Amino acid sequence: MTSEDFSDRAYDIISQNTVNCMANSPFFVNLQLKTNMNYKGVMPKSDTIRKVLILKVKNSTVHYNYPIEAYVFESSAASNVS
């Protein structure tokens, strides 16, 4: 994933930086949405998080870049993520 500083954002996505997989095979990416506990502003009603996942094919030098875009919607005025 990208190394962008998310300290001034309400939300962030946590995942591994690089996924190693076999050629021509499916792969899974685990994503975790995280609320920034140090965020001092008003929690946004919606947010868009953009990152890039790098896929490396095992036993080769082949790399693929996959853009990831996550839309976050706040369900209430409290800090509950939906």
Domain membership of residue 2 (yes or no) is no
Percentage, residues of the chain above pLDDT 90: 0
Domain membership of residue 3 (yes or no) is no
Helix H or strand E encompassing 44:
none
pLDDT reported for residue 80: 52
pLDDT reported for residue 76: 64
Look at the chain and report how many structural domains it folds into: 1
Is residue 3 very low, low, confident or very high in pLDDT (cuts 50, 70, 90)? low
The residue range of the domain holding 15 is 11-73
If you average pLDDT over residues 19-44, what whole number do you get? 83
Strands (E) across the chain are located at: 11-14, 18-21, 32-35, 46-57, 63-73
Domain membership of residue 65 (yes or no) is yes
Total-model pTM: 0.62
Domain membership of residue 61 (yes or no) is yes
